[in-house]
Amino acid sequence: MTGFRHNKVIERLAAGEHVFATFSAADPTAAVELTTTDYDGVVFEMEHKPWDINALKDSFQYLLSRRQVFEADSLTPAVTPMVRIPANGAEKAQWHAKQALDLGAFGVIWPHVSTVEEARNAVAACRYPRLPDTALYEPAGLRGDGPHAATRYWGISNIEYYAKADVWPLAEDGEILVGLMIEDQLGIKNLPDMLDQVPGIGLILIGEGDMSQELGFPRQYEHPRVLECKRRILDICNERGIAVGHPHVTDGNVKQVLDDGYRFLMSAPVRTYPGLEKARELTGRA
């Protein structure tokens, strides 16, 4: 399996490409619908929705399509599953990351990371321990050993999983993506040190909702102060070659988002009912 990538999101980021992703509730019906989309990845949203580990486990399974696996002749999921955990960075809730990874998640998004210590904890929680005299020791791993559901989900043996289940880009062949959300002024201030001192951060996601709250302009994403903060994050990350994610991509702003330099684009799936809309129009009930 040398050179084989299980994580489509990391594969595209490593190639310098754009990634298309979305948030979704941990719900089997939503997972089934996502299998027919062209998203590269999905972030199951468990920060502002309940931490329901059974629903998350079911969603992972329903995200798989036997037909897609057969036709692709590959173990790579068509849509890579990741999880936004409920705990803020300062809470250091390593067990949320451990449980998500043990089920087979390919990435963990950590909300409200504002300090170097919180960033180091986020990466360490997604890694298995290594002795200090071992290569790639730092940040020292904290993840407990219980990958049996994950290895079944990935379709590989435990030994193969241990070789792959490290964080990228610290481990070149790592298949685990650690994403940090920068959502406040303290996080922006400390972001250069986070990226310079904590190897293994694969993605920075802008939390413009909470950031706009702190600035006193709730959800005014185009306010000059909010845009200034987002630009600072982009500049810091671009200088270091770290991809930045935008959580609110629409058909109205996607060109600007791309021009600004975002590479992880999150858009909301939209349901449409053309038959219903046309019928209401023709019957005078539009």
* 166 in Cβ contact with 129 (< 8 Å): no
Q: What is the average pLDDT score of the chain?
A: 95
Is the pLDDT score of 3 beyond 70? no
Which residues pair with residue 244 across a beta bridge?
A: 204
* Across 154-173, average pLDDT: 96
Maximum Cα–Cα distance for the chain, whole Å? 75
Q: Select from 83, 84, 80, 67 the least CA-distant residue to 40.
A: 80
* 176 in Cβ contact with 101 (< 8 Å): yes
* Across 84-99, average pLDDT: 96
* Across 215-238, average pLDDT: 97
Q: What is the pLDDT of residues 12-55, one digit of tens each?
A: 999 999 999 999 999 999 999 999 999 999 999 999 999 999 99
Is the pLDDT score of 235 beyond 60? yes
Supply the pLDDT for residue 259.
97
- Dump strand ranges (E) for the chain: 19-24, 41-45, 80-84, 107-110, 167-168, 176-182, 203-206, 243-249, 264-267
- Dump strand ranges (E) for 16-147: 19-24, 41-45, 80-84, 107-110
Is the pLDDT score of 196 beyond 90? yes
Supply the pLDDT for residue 1.
40
What's the predicted TM-score (pTM) here?
0.94
* Across 67-82, average pLDDT: 90
Supply the pLDDT for residue 73.
84
> Residue 108: how many CB atoms within 10 A of its CB?
25
What 3-state class would DSSP assign to 217? coil
Please tell me the least confidently modeled range out of 37-41, 65-69, 188-192, 275-279.
65-69
DSSP code of residue 111: S
Q: Select from 25, 68, 62 the least CA-distant residue to 43.
A: 25
Residues of the chain above pLDDT 90, percent: 89
Fold entry, domain 8-282: TIM Barrel (3.20.20)
Length of the chain: 286
Query: What is the C-alpha to C-alpha distance for residues 15 and 241, in angstroms, rounded to an integer?
Result: 12
What 3-state class would DSSP assign to 30? helix
Is the pLDDT score of 166 beyond 80? yes
* Across 49-75, average pLDDT: 92
> Residue 248: how many CB atoms within 10 A of its CB?
15
Q: Select from 154, 129, 131, 160 the least CA-distant residue to 143.
A: 129
Is the pLDDT score of 2 beyond 70? no
* Across 71-85, average pLDDT: 92
DSSP code of residue 219: T
Query: What is the C-alpha to C-alpha distance for residues 243 and 238, in angstroms, rounded to an integer?
Result: 7
